A and B are shown apart, each in its own frame.
Chain A
Amino acid sequence: MKHDAITESERFWGHAAAFGAMWGAIEATVGTFLHALKIPFGGTVLAGTGAAFLFALRTVYPKRGVVLATGAVCAGVKLLSPATAVVGPMAGILVESLLIELACFAFGANPISAAVGGGLATLWALSQKVLTQIVLYGAPMIDLYRELLQRAEKWLGLAPSGGWSVVVPFASLVSTLGAILALGGHRAGLKVLARRRRR
């Protein structure tokens, strides 16, 4: 029995499936590339790329919930693909898609929500690394980081301020990178829409 009319639900899940699978493929290729080159904070760059892709999706198909659904599909693909470390990347994907869904919730995909969502996604990737280590290795990990920050401050001749004078500029740099990547994703989505209209 052939269906001439596709319901909005089918279009919604069609986008979640296609973009979720593509995001999984991008994670596999970009992730391998970053790992091979041993780029510092490759996880943060990967999160920024994911944010860019999700903003492109939200621009091309502006429906509430599609970003979260795509995240759930991609997390499921990650879970069922052969790999040793799965739980961490899965949690990262789900939280990232939730943050971007929230950023787009009120006013959709636009440059401001892209900057906010991209910044939040990369900040999360940074904190997730630390949080994972705290869960895995235990609370002493926090003391270790604090001690390292204080030593770094001493060597740099900075006033003792509990590490915030190092953490805040670094976090700002990371979230700016995420914002730029997400804005790029939004632009790519606009480009695809423009090409569609021309056809």
Chain B
Amino acid sequence: MSEKRRHAAVLVLAAGLLAALYVTRPEMHAGLGIAMLGLAAVLDPKVAKRSGRPLRWLGTAIVLAAVGLWLGPGDMRVRGHAISLAGALAATTMVSRAIGLVMLGSAAGALYPAERALARLRRTRFRRFAEVLVVALELVPSLLGALETARRESAARRPGLRGFPGRILETFVFAVEHASALADSVAQRLAESAPQGGPSSLTESAEQGGVSS
């Protein structure tokens, strides 16, 4: 099965799960949620990975079911204490619904990735915004490095817990100053690239401008 078909299959199953939650009895909802997680893991591990770890979903279900048992209308008595089966079942329905929605979103995102939307955007009147977005994306790794360097230098100047507030402020001011300096060089490169077009020349120039500032 091709990757696209796998994504589509999970999308259909997730939509099916959400519909099934409306027409089936609450006692079945936990099983439906578990089945969805299992099927997705087998059919499309990529989408299943993006939808959260199964143990986490199980943990959430257990916590919410416990809260439901405690806070819901007391429809059962166990050793003299009133507990709520309806509350616990409502919790499993909530978690199964969340699993369905998240799987639906992950499968839809895998079927139509954002990169394709960006490529389309470049052919419209929002071309400038698309170019700016490409520049910003390529700046992020070098900015992460610059922030980390600034943080380490600040930590060397202001060590220990006492220096913590000062370090935060110094790193923050550095971030504002650095971005402000970079803004002028990005603007210059946007101006230079306007008649030529093409994001690749724009991003190379922006990175060089960033290093020199």
A117 surroundings in chain B (CB, below 8 A): none
Write out the residue numbers on chain A whose beta carbons fall within 8 Å of the beta carbon of B51.
84
In the complex, what distance in Å separates the CA atom of A20 from the CA atom of B52? 28
A-B contact count (CB 8 A): 167
Per-residue 0/1 for A1-27: is the Cβ within 8 Å of any B Cβ (1 yes, 0 no)?
Answer: 111011100110111111111101110
The SS class assigned to the B binding surface is helix
Q: What 0/1 pattern do residues 140 to 156 of A give for CB contact below 8 A with B? A: 11001001100100000
A9-49 with Cβ < 8 A to chain B: 10-11, 13-22, 24-26, 28-29
Contacts A6-B188, A79-B114; is A17 near B172 (CB within 8 Å)? no
Chain A residues whose C-beta falls within 8 Å of the C-beta of B93 in the assembled complex: 138, 140
Chain B residues near A22 (CB, 8 Å)? 139, 143, 175, 178-179, 182
Closest B residue to A135 by beta carbon equals B101
Cβ 8 A contact of B71, one of A61, A137, A151:
A151
Q: Tell me whether B32 is interfacial, beta carbon within 8 Å.
A: no
Interface residues of A (CB under 8 A from B): 1-3, 5-7, 10-11, 13-22, 24-26, 28-29, 52-53, 56-57, 60-61, 72-74, 76-77, 79-81, 84, 86-87, 135-138, 140-141, 144, 147-148, 151, 184-185, 188-189, 191-192, 195-196
Residues of B within 8 A of A (CB): 50-52, 64, 67-68, 71, 90, 93-95, 97-98, 101-102, 105-106, 109, 114-115, 118, 128-129, 132-133, 135-137, 139-140, 143-144, 147-148, 151, 169, 172-173, 175-180, 182-188, 190-192, 194-196, 206
What are 29 A-B contacts with C-beta separation under 8 Å? A1-B192, A3-B192, A10-B194, A13-B132, A13-B186, A14-B183, A17-B139, A21-B135, A21-B136, A22-B179, A24-B143, A25-B143, A53-B175, A53-B176, A56-B172, A61-B183, A73-B132, A73-B136, A76-B118, A77-B140, A80-B133, A87-B105, A135-B101, A136-B97, A137-B97, A140-B93, A148-B71, A188-B176, A192-B173
For the complex with contacts A2-B192, A84-B106, 16 further pairs of A-B residues with Cβ separation under 8 Å are A6-B187, A13-B187, A17-B132, A17-B206, A20-B132, A21-B136, A24-B136, A52-B172, A56-B172, A72-B129, A73-B136, A77-B140, A140-B93, A140-B94, A188-B176, A192-B176
